[in-house]
Amino acid sequence: MQTITPDELREEFQEINDYDERLEYIIEFADGLPQMAAEHRVEPNRVQGCVSNVWLVASQRPGESADDSPIVDFEADSDAVITRGLIAIIVALLSGKSAKEILAIDIDGLFTELDLQGHLTRSRSNGLRSMVRRVRELAEAAL
């Protein structure tokens, strides 16, 4: 699974000015997202508010960070390639971080800064907000 920092994502997007190239970059993340096990692709794991099907599960392990909150690992999937890429970026940014670290990262602000939502349809933009909200809920539940 890919990992990326907010600064690395900013750098990548600064180098890509063309909308189609940005979509290709998002799709590359989709291609790198491991396939989710079928038993996790169930209704309780579906992210509400997304037009496409998006599934997200979180697992916890004891905190190995300075803040001593549990480490949260995410597994996700979608049946739509662009949406799969978006959730893959979220997972790459946040999976493996402590719950407190996840909650401290302003993902919505990052995506606004990158003008990511400005290049998405209204329904995809709403879905992106729903995915971020669900990740934050799962991180809060880990505390």
Strands 97-98 and 54-61: unpaired
Q: Which of 50, 82, 120, 139 is catalytic?
A: 50
50 is catalytic: yes
Nearest Cα neighbor of 3 from 132, 93, 82 is: 93
Give the single-character DSSP code of 42: S
Q: How far is CA 140 from CA 7, 36, 43, 46, 55, in A?
A: 24, 23, 21, 18, 18
CA distance 115 to 120: 9
Q: Please list the active-site residues.
A: 50
